[in-house]
Structure 1
């Protein structure tokens, strides 16, 4: 029984989500192999080889893998699939794009968003916005799984000594092509990898007040900025800041929710945070039910006072 983890990387280094996925793979039992497919991605392959718990890295190099196009990635994974009992992806935009193609081609059911490995064929995953946990057993010969990274601690990025095997890549199937990308640059940590997140809700009332009130606090704490769906829909914050069931799933060391009522969809995206601080003037706000520390106050007064105290 051997597990294949599909690494996410930038051709130079491995992304943090891969470390959490390796932890899940180790719990599935047997050896863990990691696929690093990219262009001139030798550095990323070496980084993957250093991850604790990894037995072998499969390095595939080619222009067709430069941007992680789902069609080409799936074709490469399908060539390797007969050698593995489990194929694991992080439950990120990339993983969710590739995994269903692999599962459909193998004619197996995909097991999505697992948060726990009970046995090699039995897994737990949240349903109903995290209000219930489903236990799923799969009897498929190859189990195609996406891993909710907040459910597993990251494997150590150093200490491993896996071998690196370079194999020839599958040719470009021509079904898709990379046109371009527009990447927003920020000095702040990436939302899903941040240790501290400051999030705002609809109570901030405008994008100007969102920035005026929350940015100074985030700057003081070195935090990423997040938002509820209501704040995003109202135009107070960009889409990529959205935390929740239809946004990003986060589990930072500290999550500060200012002016967020705590709808079930938002709680599904952040309730695994280690420490949750809620600031809301409504004492009945659902956010207080999951908060470790709650402050019933006007955020326009409380947040500037907190910034001044820091």
Structure 2
């Protein structure tokens, strides 16, 4: 899988915006569970739909990937015996599309009654389907229930901001909330467990652990926590929230280096982890399953 990418060009002004895409998304409606394998149920969301609204253009360098974990993966062996496992899917930040999470859940459910010779055959099918949807190579890993690969880890990185006594008045993310000082720090790392945003399709809350690591002028921590808490009413996909945070910190605080990690809690048997960085990062960068996941 390519290292994970670079510079983005803004979508044309006349392009369909995110609000219009949401109005045509069929997954806000009730959809029956598929009874047979159906890759056509996968629903793509163009990345530019959010990036054009964020004005992420060629002046803003950004690398990274999206790491999805699926805990309700099951299929049949050649004798019809059920097999259960957990899956990891890695999407390159340069992929043309992301996949709508409910459509991925339904797609994985469509595999429940299909027979495969082994997990390698299943991996190939899922990789081909997700690569076709995202228009980029997707890396797949399958783990049996006896594996400890996805065991929960305590958070080890970053100073927790959550005990700061701050007043939260902003009801939407505002770049101007962020402040920097003249003090220069190297490899500074902070985190919060208070982040909440909302699904743009259903309005359901999405919870995340957020880690921010940077080098440059020190970012005021009370203002940073205020900014992150201001997403509480915001409606946006996980990837859009991470890229909005990355953009706002880069433009407002101008760090020399920046890494943003958002580890979202599981919903519908799927959890999404979004990583954005000012320098290329390999997909095998430490991705611990955090305590709340």
Q: TM-score range by the shorter chain?
A: under 0.3
TM-score by length of 2: 0.26
The structure showing larger relative contact order (alpha-carbon pairs under 8 Å, at least 6 residues apart) is: 2
- The structure in which a higher percent of residues are helix is 1
Larger CA Rg, structure 1 vs 2: 1
Higher strand share: 2
